[in-house]
Chains A and B, each alone.
Chain A
Amino acid sequence: MTTTDITTMLRRNIKSQLRYPVTIFAIIGIPVLFLLLFVYVFGGALAEAVDVSGSQDYVDYVLPGLIIMTAAAGLLGTSTSTSVDMTEGIITRFRTMAIFRPSILIARVLSSVLQTLASMLFVFVVALLMGLSPNATAVEWLAIVGVLALISFSLSWLGLAFGLAAKTIDAASNAPFPLILMPLVGSGIVPTDSMPTVVRWFAEYQPFTPMIETLRGLLNGSEIGDSALLTFAWCLGITVLGFIWSVRAFNRDRS
């Protein structure tokens, strides 16, 4: 019964997401647009700073940051669609039905993870067409998929919390924007050592930097140090925060 409820809700969420092409365009379009701009427009100017020979090689450096940006952009879809459901009263109707109540939240998170992973795959394919040359082994590829799934899962809970807590759809769609831009204020576009001290301090200690470094290390087959451990810790923290916030917001009576 529990699995059936989750599957039914998951199917419903995926169908409703496909009916909003503008949201899908925002989730995929923003990172792809940034990828094209940073590789072709800024790549030549930034290549020297990241110690590569030009925009062709700069794509290898910049992709991990923009893949993480895609995960953050996934928040936008989760937050907005959750808020639409909350404000239009469908959640209230679900609550009156004889269904496993957590299935509403679990299905929303799962559909968000699937959508985000599909978006990441699209961005990755565009990067391959632009000349990306990864050096990952089979084990590293598995690790990449695992890391991306973990990041998507943790951020989906946060997106769900934003959507449940927001009083209006506008508020839900605006709240994730600072998070979408946060990978830029990390090691996503340029190395942190080229930044002024205060900015560098923030860039080095914010959650997206170890995620970017882990992904970059796995894709290029280089050392990742303690980035993987930090990524896991941040993801765990974000998941716990998002989960507790989501459950509290969901159980709060909004009538």
Chain B
Amino acid sequence: MRDALPAAERLLLAVLRNPAFIVVLVAAPIVLVLIFGFIFGGAIAVPGRATGGAGYREFLIPGLLVMTASNIVPSMVTAAKDNHTGLTDRFRSLPISRVAIPAGHALANLLYGVIGFVIMMLCGLVVGWRIRGNLIETLTAVGILLLFQFAATWIGMYLGYLFDDEETAGQAAILVMPVGMISNVFVPTSGMPGWLRTIADWNPLSAVCAALRQLFGNPSVPAGGVWPLEHPVTAALLWAAGLLAVFVPLCTRGYVRAGR
């Protein structure tokens, strides 16, 4: 942990010196809320609500929070960049724990993830989203969100270490987008074809999203007999723990082998 903190500090300082990243961090949540909340939102029906408008925006914000948490692109590009510039080689030569650098990245990501969540929540409050759960439920929801983002960061870093440069990692990022879309993040899965609905219902993002909607007291989708959607909080915690159990060792191994 002592080794991880300087690594996190390095990444945070790099972010502060990158105004483009800060602009994207601030603008992305606003753009997503505007596009989905106002352009498509009026046409999308939410279970138990009239078509579109404020009802859909209440349904949408937890989904957008999960999309923000699951954005693996920054960690993917950062890992690929460190790999490309030879920084990973230099870090490996230092007398520090093998897991310190990836852990530092994950902690830094967590911090500016919190900033992204705050901006998204403020946007949500402006457009009519409300937290209707009690304090414990709300804190549990935020905890799940942070845990899931922490897990997603390790996935991003693992994939980033597989690439030789940040351009390739950035181009590969477009393939990540459908993973977030094929879920209940933006629309209820009931309107999807059967085969796609099964994938969407078992997508980890769907479970986390359903957990947030339940804990925040927002409109949710019918579970349809699918276990992760019937027990969303448990499923979200299990998914996060499972992803961490798989990707922390994989990422550490990827870091050790990167560029060799």
Interface size on B, residues (CB 8 A): 25
Are B40 and A46 closer than 8 Å at their CB atoms? yes
How far is B187's CA from A190's CA once the two chains are assembled, in angstroms? 14
| Known A40-B193, A41-B182: A184·B187 in contact at CB below 8 Å | no
Which segment of A8-16, A47-55, A66-74, A228-236 sits at the interface?
Answer: A47-55
Are A45 and B42 closer than 8 Å at their CB atoms? no
Are B190 and A33 closer than 8 Å at their CB atoms? no
Are A45 and B174 closer than 8 Å at their CB atoms? no
B:203-257 near A, CB below 8 Å: none
| Known A45-B44, A190-B40, A199-B39: A37·B188 in contact at CB below 8 Å | no
Collect the chain B residues with CB atoms within 8 Å of residue A49's CB.
42-44, 51-52
Fill in one digit per residue for B47-76: 1 if any A CB lies within 8 Å of its CB, else 0: 000011000000000000000000000000
Question: Taking the complex as formed, is B38 at the interface, i.e. its CB lies under 8 A from any CB of chain A?
Answer: yes
Are A55 and B39 closer than 8 Å at their CB atoms? no
Are B43 and A194 closer than 8 Å at their CB atoms? yes
Q: Distance in Å from the Cβ of B37 to the closest Cβ of chain A?
A: 9
Q: CB within 8 A of A22: which of B45, B171, B200?
A: B171
Are B171 and A41 closer than 8 Å at their CB atoms? no
Collect the chain A residues with CB atoms within 8 Å of residue B52's CB.
49, 194
Are A194 and B191 closer than 8 Å at their CB atoms? no
Fill in one digit per residue for A1-40: 1 if any B CB lies within 8 Å of its CB, else 0: 0000000000000000000001000100110010011001
How far is B193's CA from A31's CA once the two chains are assembled, in angstroms? 21
Question: Taking the complex as formed, is A86 at the interface, i.e. its CB lies under 8 A from any CB of chain B?
Answer: no
Collect the chain B residues with CB atoms within 8 Å of residue A195's CB.
38-39, 42
Are B35 and A184 closer than 8 Å at their CB atoms? yes
Question: Taking the complex as formed, is B118 at the interface, i.e. its CB lies under 8 A from any CB of chain A?
Answer: no
Question: Taking the complex as formed, is B186 at the interface, i.e. its CB lies under 8 A from any CB of chain A?
Answer: yes
Are B43 and A46 closer than 8 Å at their CB atoms? yes
Question: Taking the complex as formed, is B19 at the interface, i.e. its CB lies under 8 A from any CB of chain A?
Answer: no
How far is B129's CA from A33's CA once the two chains are assembled, in angstroms? 30
How far is B43's CA from A55's CA once the two chains are assembled, in angstroms? 14
Fill in one digit per residue for B171-191: 1 if any A CB lies within 8 Å of its CB, else 0: 100100110011000111011
19 contacts between A and B (CB under 8 A): A33-B178, A36-B178, A37-B181, A41-B182, A41-B186, A42-B186, A44-B187, A46-B43, A46-B44, A48-B51, A50-B43, A54-B191, A185-B35, A190-B42, A195-B39, A195-B42, A196-B38, A196-B42, A199-B39
